[in-house]
Amino acid sequence: MKVISIIQPWATLIALGEKRFETRSWSTKYRGELAIHASKKIDKDACKHKRFREALAKHGYDEKTLPTGVILATCRLVDCHQVIVDFGFSAKLEGGYRATDNEYLFGDYSQGRYAWRLRDVNVLTEPIPAKGKLNLWEHPLTEMVGEM
């Protein structure tokens, strides 16, 4: 299965359904099942921001309880939209999509970046320890948890 490593708290925000787009500087043609790997790094400054704290606390997390170094969820990558305009409080994406409110705050919607649209997020009952990698990478996840 394809995997993407994401710094915390963003990986957990995706797993919790608080973040539907993962923003990247690069596009991908890949569509399909994707596992979310929480890297070992935690952005503690982001965790101190009120809206990040509130979104995490709503699900019982804070910067000290975020899982790291594990695959924690699976989802489907359904599309990749380039950011057309960043208004500073919201963004307009290709395909008529907009990022507003927490969705905008939880990503980097600078013009020219890409928003990967994620759906059907499933949190794994047992996170799988894994060493992260750059870009998309492969993990034999389906052999470990069965067909998703």
- Provide the pLDDT for residue 145: 55
Please tell me the distance from the alpha carbon of residue 34 to that of residue 30, in angstroms, as a whole number. Answer: 9
pLDDT band of 140, cuts 50, 70, 90: confident
pTM of the model: 0.92
Q: Taking residues 58-81, what's their average pLDDT? A: 97
In 17-138 the beta strands, taken as DSSP E runs, fall at 21-24, 32-42, 70-86, 91-93, 98-99, 114-129, 136-138
Residue 122, amino acid: N
Using DSSP's 3-state secondary structure scheme, residue 130 falls into coil
With the C-alpha atoms ordered 106, 112, 113, 116, is the resulting torsion angle positive or negative? positive
Q: What is the number of other CB atoms lying within 10 angstroms of the CB of residue 73?
A: 22
Q: Domains in the chain, please, with CATH?
A: 2-81+115-145 (2.30.130.30)
